[in-house]
Amino acid sequence: MLQHATRPPSRDRKAAPEAEGPQVAPADKQTRLGNSALAGRTGGQSGESALGNEELSSWLNDEEQHIGGPVSARGDGVGPMRASKTNKGQWGALVGDEDEVVLTTNMDGSGDKITVPDGKPCKVLEASGDKVKVEVRVDKATKQGWVALAKFSDEPQLNRDDEAPGLKDDFLFAKQKGDHSPVDPKGTDTAQGALGDCYFIASMAAVANVSPQSIKDAIKYNKDKETYTVRFFEESYGGQSKPVYIEVDAYLPTVQGNRSDPAYAGEPGGKLWPAIMEKAYAKWKGGYEAMGNGGYGSKAMAEITGGKSTEKSPSSLKEEEVIPYFEKAKKDGMAIYAAVMHDKQSEVQTPFTGSGDKFAGTVTHAHRWNTIVPGTMKVTDKNGKMKGSITDTGKEGDLTGKFTGGGLKEGTVDYKKNAMELEMRTGNGPASAEDLELRFAFEGVVDNAKLLVANHAYAFDGVVNGKELQFYNPWGTWQPKPITPGEFLKYFTNISVNKAPQGATQS
């Protein structure tokens, strides 16, 4: 199931208002949350990892293996990781010793100069000796220039910017000071940022809820280089789990204007082990954009713990079986991840005005976060004068689309503005605008009272009063209210559980 949930307008860790009202949303440091993320639906048998407990923990003393090629720290021991060589197409960032980095149009340092902020993401176009030619984003365009190879830091590719097609997020890499190893890790340490990787953030939270030791054992701080070696597990031939070690530094993507505010996972001043783990996972999987393009919760949990994951469809449970199922899973030390339905069907709307052959209308939503799912709109004539139906041809990610069918001459929709225009062929329109009925699917809040978001993944917290389920929203805010078994069966489409192989705690 595709998971694509928009982050709330506030990064505060406080609960959002219980009811939706006309209040203005507080200014957000990012305008949108990346794109898709997938709910955990991979199969596999439950049970312990093929690796024993001693082998799972002994990696801390093993010779480390690294993904991404040879790396080294800057001479003063506090700089970012540097690649020993670069390749065409490699992503990274320009990190020096000053607030700005200067590029030149010519390799010898001559020509026009391009000045960008320190930490600017870049893409390698060409390398020659101790110089590298890179492409950087400047506002909503790209520029190219040469810079010393010593200023190039090997960093994961940022997510695509949906508001600037063809460009990456305009965030800056900046070092987050301190030892960000997990200390008393909890699921509530996690906070998803401007990246659609709820499947991974929820997986970290689910594991931390039942097995904090698994999280502590997964991240090793290398004090001499101020880097982190993060251990994941990869399923090999025959179903065996093999450890994979990814080394990263604490240079994280940060929002413009605040180098202490992580743009993706993490909160300023908060625990940053989730951001370190997210960065390592991005490096392993091919960049932050690859994470934002989707993944599976069951697979992510298995990659974090080395234990097998299994899934269950909520539809296989009867209402009276829901609470006992979750109680037993928690007692057994299972990390539990659950995903909400991809979208919800709207009520019938009659938003059109006009007469003759031309009509216009605006879609209304029950919540300001809700958005139309492109390709799901259908307009019909309740009195039958207009023959057939009109449907939109949009696809996920489109900002605008067209209508077709039903004697239509031309029709357009702006999904962002929720605005529609229809022009019928002569004599093919309805008797009146009020006869046109609109139906569509939407993403966003599917239950305003319970604060449940569609196309989103949650970590299970526990059973409340023996009769309701409490879930944790990996945003770190907009926490759902306890839900009944009936509401769980109505809204959730997937359960994934993982048996952490060691350190599970029970309450």
394 within domain boundaries: yes
Which segments of 341-426 are extended strands (E)? 344-345, 352-355, 358-362, 371-372, 378-381, 390-392, 400-404, 408-414, 419-424
Condensed to tens digits (0 to 9), the pLDDT of residues 230-270 reads: 999 998 777 788 999 999 999 999 998 899 999 999 988 88
Last residue of a domain, one of 130, 154, 178: 154
Examine residue 313 and state whether it is found in any structural domain, yes or no. yes
What's the rounded Cα separation, in Å, for the pair 48 and 2?
Answer: 28
Is the pLDDT confidence value at 275 over 50?
A: yes
305 and 242 within one domain: yes
Give the chain's largest Cα–Cα span: 80
Q: Where are the alpha helices (DSSP H) in 166-211?
A: 198-210
* Closest CA relative to residue 208, chosen from 189, 235, 227: 189
Please indicate, yes or no, if residue 256 is contained in any of the structural domains. Answer: yes
User: Is 0.75 surpassed by the pTM of this model?
Assistant: yes
Residue 193, amino acid: G
Q: What is the DSSP letter of 160?
A: B
Q: Identify whether residues 126 and 246 lie together within a single domain.
A: no
Range of the domain at 94: 81-154
Q: Is 445 inside a domain boundary?
A: no
Q: Final residue of a domain: which of 128, 154, 180?
A: 154
Q: Are residues 357 and 235 in the same domain?
A: no
User: Tens digits of per-residue pLDDT, 358-395?
Assistant: 999 999 999 999 999 999 999 999 999 998 999 999 99
Looking at the structure, do residues 65 and 93 belong to the same domain, yes or no?
A: no
Q: Is the pLDDT of residue 7 over 70?
A: no
Return the exposure string of 33-60: e unless at least 16 CB atoms fall within 10 Å of the residue's CB, then b: bbbbbbbbbbebebeebbbeeeebbebe
CATH of the domain at 125: 2.30.30
Give the pLDDT band (50/70/90) at residue 78: low
Residues 200 and 284 in one domain: yes
pLDDT of residue 6 exceeding 70: no
Same structural domain, 334 and 353 = no
Q: pLDDT at position 502, please?
A: 56
Q: Are residues 238 and 179 in the same domain?
A: yes
Please compute the mean of the pLDDT values over residues 192-208 and round it to a whole number: 95
Residue 22 lies in a domain: no
CA dist 124 and 132 (Å) reads 7
- Do 379 and 458 have their domain in common? no
Does residue 419 fall inside a structural domain? yes
Q: What is the mean pLDDT of residues 76-95?
A: 82
How far apart are the C-alpha atoms of 52 and 502, rounded to whole Å?
Answer: 9
Q: Which of 59-68, 102-111, 163-172 has the lowest mean pLDDT?
A: 59-68
* Alpha carbon separation from 299 to 59, 235, 302, 421, 504 (Å, rounded): 21, 9, 5, 44, 19
Same domain for 293 and 418, yes or no, is no
Q: What is the pLDDT of residues 432-485, one digit of tens each?
A: 999 999 999 999 999 999 999 999 999 999 999 999 999 999 999 999 999 999
CA distance 309 to 334: 9
Reported as a single tens digit per residue, the pLDDT across 394-446 is: 998 899 999 999 899 999 999 999 999 999 999 899 999 999 999 999 999 99
- Domain end position, chosen among 154, 188, 218: 154
Do 411 and 458 share a domain, yes or no?
Answer: no
Q: Clarify whether residues 233 and 329 are in a common domain.
A: yes
The answer to whether position 24 is within a domain reads no
- Whether the pLDDT of residue 15 is over 70: the answer is no
Both 177 and 210 in one domain: the answer is yes
Residue 338 in this model has a pLDDT that exceeds 70: yes
When divided into structural domains, the chain yields a total of 3
223 located within any domain: yes
pLDDT at 270: 84
